[in-house]
Amino acid sequence: MFGELIRQKSFGVSLAVFLVLLLAPSFLPRFYIYLLAVIFVTALLAMSLNLCVGHGMLFQFHHGVFYGVGAYTAGLLLAKTSIPWWMAFVAGPLAAAFAGLLIGLFCIRLNKLYFGMLQISLGSLIWAIAFRWYGLTGGDDGIHGIPIPDFIASTTGSYYFVLIVLGICLFLMYLILKSPFGSTLQAIRDNPERCAAVGIHVRHHQLKTIVIATFFGGVAGVLFVVVEGSIFPDLLFWVLSLEIFIMCLLGGWFTFAGPILGAAIIVSLRTFVGTYTEYWTLILGVILILLIFFLPEGIMGYNYRQLFRSRTKYAHDSQME
């Protein structure tokens, strides 16, 4: 009964938030509409990373490189070819998933920290190519003024497009995590040795998870192009990956919606604090230290733990009665 009430409350809150976001362009200034769109894009990227880190315990330390691959693929196709826009948008996530498959085949043989370090090395090679290949990628200048379809070229149009795509992706992620595959993935996270002993192909499931996560990361990259109309090498740099990782930790990396909250907090802080100081990375480091010492399970993880304690106390009191 207690769990059912919690689920009903969560659904009601989610529906209310969605309705508010749907009406936001009618009462918010243009800057805040743009900021919300950036938060949506970043939230999707953080959610895709959390499929690996929080639900699969795969230390994907350079997840941002797949975000960049998706953005660069879509952006280059739109800027340098005449193919339909929807083909460019589809090509971005597929290219990111293919890059995830290739890098995953190398990294999946290693465990934990070594997995993450090798991925950083291979991802840095992709960043170096984008940074130096001026003829194709524009080098460190990137490419600006990418042509975007008219119906999503405006701030409001891009906002609604990003919101709809985000909603679809979150629904698909939820279905994946609630499927037998998602249950198996979380079992591997909790005890990979026991899963291997009962006949589950652990590395096969982990590689599938990497491909799925990088696909959604590529979708976020395409949405970045829609919002910003440009691409640049910083999308592939490891500092962005660190930010996304901290978003997952801050919101609650063992929860479903925690990375969304983490993305909203970090993007807002980066936007407003960045107007007063150039030392954003220092502030980010302080946030990480405070998380490790005082809130290791994240904000939503802490709330869920409190709800679990309340549920346990409620069950205990019911039995006593």
Which of 34-43, 50-59, 103-112, 188-197 has the highest mean predicted lDDT (pLDDT)?
34-43
**Amino acid 15: pLDDT:** 76
Q: Would you say residue 9 has pLDDT above 70?
A: no
Q: Is the pLDDT of residue 113 over 90?
A: no
The share of the chain scoring above pLDDT 90, in percent, equals 45
Beta strands in 197-306 (DSSP E): 230-231
pLDDT tens digit string along 136-185? Answer: 888 888 899 899 998 998 999 999 999 999 999 999 999 999 999 999 99
Higher-confidence residue of 3 and 307: namely 307
- In tens, the pLDDT along 200-215 reads 888 899 999 999 999 9
Share of the chain above pLDDT 70, in %: 91
C-alpha 231: how far from chain center: 18
What are the structure tokens assigned to 148, written together?
A: 């975007």
What's the pLDDT at 72?
Answer: 95
Of 90, 14, 100, 92, the residue nearest 56 (C-alpha): 100
Domain boundaries, the chain: 2-320
- 86 in Cβ contact with 199 (< 8 Å): no
What does the DSSP 8-state code read for residue 150? G
Average pLDDT over residues 36-51: 95
Reference 173, options 37, 43, 307; nearest CA is 43
CATH classification number, 2-320, choose in 1.10.8, 3.40.120, 1.10.1740, 1.10.3470: 1.10.3470
- For residue 144, the cross-strand partners are 230
* Mean pLDDT, residues 105-117 taken together: 82
301 CA to centre of own chain: 17
